[in-house]
């Protein structure tokens, strides 16, 4: 019998993506401090947060398999967080991304408390924006779409109008790299609909 699978995330986008696998899972958001540590490289930052989120839920759910993820947009080695309701911060981020490529890094962590099981992976996708006009930036900010998104934009929404190329996993940019998530689950022995277990 498959262990209980828990998604340690409040993100509706991650919930939708994990749902594509056709397996039952529960959702329990993890509450961890998401502040970067001094001098912490972006890949290490997302890896640490995903691991901490998974462990925070796994400690309260013995026997369950807990999947967590964390996504950051990185430009010039700077982590761009979520702008929130600040139009000024959202505009600053979009101007940084305008006309250039940036990295989207997502760490996925799979943990099971008490069984010594804990695996993770960091996936990077290169995304290029077209040069943005002031009017385009103002319009996009008015949609409110990017307020709760890393880097201040949603690739699956209106911001798709600005993206000229994407190299790597597209689901990674949305928040959960599916191919790598499948591999983690299979390595943990979790039965997927096509795995015959």
Flag whether pLDDT at 114 surpasses 90: no
Tens-place pLDDT, residues 16-66? 999 999 999 999 999 999 999 999 999 999 999 999 999 999 999 988 999
Per-residue pLDDT averaged across 110-135, rounded?
89
pLDDT tens-digit readout, 126-146? 999 999 999 999 999 999 999
Question: b vs e for 42-74, b when ≥16 Cβ sit within 10 Å of the residue's Cβ?
Answer: bbebbbbbbbbbbbbbbeebeebbbbbbbbbbb
Contact 30, 69 (CB under 8 A): no
Class of 5-187 in CATH: alpha beta
Q: Which residue has the tokens 């409110």?
A: 144
| Rounded CA separation 184/76 (Å) | 30
Please give the Cα distance from 82 to 90 (Å, whole number): 8
Angle at 156 between CA 151 and CA 161, to 5 degrees: 85
Q: Which of 26, 31, 33, 70 is catalytic?
A: 70
Beta-carbon contacts of residue 52 (< 8 Å; ≥ 6 apart): 30, 32
**Confidence check: pLDDT of 115 > 70:** no
CA-nearest of 92, 40, 44 to 70 is 44
**What is the token pair recorded at 57?**
């839920």
Predicted pLDDT at 104:
97
- Going from N- to C-terminal start, the domains of the chain cover 5-187
First to last CA, the chain: 9
70 assigned to active site: yes
Of 87-101, 108-122, 172-186, which gets the smallest average pLDDT?
108-122
Q: CB–CB of 69/9 below 8 Å?
A: yes
CA dist 35 and 14 (Å) reads 21
Q: What is the pLDDT of residues 152-171, one digit of tens each?
A: 999 999 999 999 999 999 99
Q: Both tokens of residue 74?
A: 């990185």
Confidence of residue 116 (pLDDT cuts 50, 70, 90): low
Q: Which tokens sit at 187?
A: 């390595």
């Amino acid at each position: 019998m498959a262990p209980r699978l828990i998604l340690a995330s409040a993100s509706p986008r991650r919930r939708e993506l994990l749902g594509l696998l056709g397996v039952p899972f529960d959702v329990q958001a993890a509450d961890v401090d998401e502040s970067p540590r001094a001098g912490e490289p972006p890949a290490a930052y997302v890896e640490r947060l995903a691991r901490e989120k998974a462990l925070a839920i796994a400690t309260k759910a013995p026997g369950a398999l807990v999947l967590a993820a964390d996504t950051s947009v990185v430009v010039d080695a700077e982590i761009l967080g979520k702008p929130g309701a600040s139009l000024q911060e959202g505009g600053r981020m979009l101007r940084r991304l305008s006309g250039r490529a940036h990295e989207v890094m997502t760490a996925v962590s799979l943990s099971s408390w008490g069984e010594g099981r804990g695996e993770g992976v960091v996936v990077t996708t290169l995304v290029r924006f077209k040069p943005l006009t002031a009017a385009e930036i103002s319009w996009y900010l008015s949609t409110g779409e990017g307020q709760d998104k890393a880097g201040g934009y949603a690739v699956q929404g209106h911001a798709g109008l600005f993206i000229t190329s994407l190299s790597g996993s597209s689901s990674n940019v949305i928040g959960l790299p599916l191919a790598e998530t499948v591999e983690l689950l299979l390595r943990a022995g979790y039965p997927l609909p096509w795995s015959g277990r």
